[in-house]
Every structure is written in structure tokens, then in C-alpha cells.
Structure 1
């Protein structure tokens, strides 16, 4: 019977962990960009609303 290659198994686990971490980073980045663009679109309208108020 062949003995298990623990080093190879560990390497495969580490590669899978790194790949999952990278996918999560990309999802977070896409989510931030999606919501960041919406926030940027809202902020000029908010700025105009505050500019319309008379100063005291």
C-alpha cells in the first residue's frame, strides 16, 4: 500500500485557500464599486439640496 503524501495534500489545501481568499477579495471589490458609484451619484444631489438652503 502506498503511503499518503501529506506535503502534496497541504499544498493543495493552501492553494484552495488562497484561491477562495482571492475570489472573496474580488467580490468585495465589485460590491464596493457598485455601491460606491451609487453613493457618488447621490452625493451631488445632497450637496445641491444643502446649497439651496438660505444661509443665516
Structure 2
């Protein structure tokens, strides 16, 4: 029976991790360059939370 080439398998895992990290970094960079999509959603959520306590306590 042939021996398993652990070095090859390890290298493939490392390449896959690097590829995923690069894709994640690219997504983060794109999100920073286009803050309209993600930024507006967060701001809207913050505004609704801030407005809710005022509506509950009108005094």
C-alpha cells in the first residue's frame, strides 16, 4: 500500500485557507468602498432603537 503524502495534503489545506482569507479581505475591502449598502442598514436600526424609548415615555 502506498504511503500518504502528508506534505501535499498540508500544502493543499494551507492554500485553501489562504484563498478563503484573500476572499474575505476582498469582501471587506469592497464593503468599505461601498458603505451605502451595509452602512445604511446599520444606521436605520440605530435610529429606530433611539426613537423607540421616546415613543414609550412621552413625558
TM-score by length of 1: 0.61
RMSD: 1.6
Structure 2's unaligned 5+ residue stretches are 40-59
Q: Which runs of 4+ in 1 moved over 2 A?
A: none
| Number of equivalenced pairs | 37
In the superposition, the TM-score normalised over structure 2's length comes to: 0.58
Q: Comparing both chains, which one has the higher relative contact order based on Cα–Cα distances under 8 Å and sequence gaps of 6 or more?
A: 2
Structure 1, unpaired ranges of 5+: 40-56
